[in-house]
Amino acid sequence: MTTSPSKSVANKSQPQRVVESIQARILNGELKTGDRIPPEPSLMEEFSVSRTVVREAMSSLQASGFVKTRHGIGTFVLERTGSASLLSAPPQELHVKQTLAMLELRISLESEAAHLAALRRTDAHLAVMREALLSYRSNWQAGKSTVEDDYRFHAEIAAATDNQYFLEVLGNLGNATLRSHSHEGIEQTKAKVTTGQFGEALPILSDGKETAQREHEAIFDAIARQDAASAKAAMFMHLSNSRERLRRKIEPA
Domain region containing 22: 5-79
152-to-6, 46, 63, 236 alpha-carbon distances in Å: 23, 22, 26, 18
Instruction: Verify that 49 and 122 share a domain, yes or no.
Output: no
Is residue 241 in a domain?
Answer: yes
Instruction: Verify that 237 and 187 share a domain, yes or no.
Output: yes
Instruction: Verify that 65 and 101 share a domain, yes or no.
Output: no
* Contact yes or no for 75/69 (Cβ under 8 A): yes
* pLDDT number for residue 251: 60
Domain count, the chain: 2
Is residue 119 in a domain?
Answer: yes
Is residue 88 in a domain?
Answer: no
Is residue 89 in a domain?
Answer: no
CA 121 to chain centre: 15
**Concatenated DSSP letters of 103-136:** HHHHHHHHHHHHHHHHHH--HHHHHHHHHHHHHH
CATH code, domain with 47: 1.10.10.10
Q: What is the pLDDT of residues 48-71, one digit of tens each?
A: 999 888 988 888 888 777 888 887
Report which secondary-structure segment, H or E, holds 75. Answer: strand 74-77
Q: How far apart are CA 221 and CA 205, in angstroms?
A: 24
CATH code, domain with 169: 1.20.120.530
Q: What is the pLDDT of residues 100-135, one digit of tens each?
A: 777 788 889 999 999 999 999 999 999 999 999 999
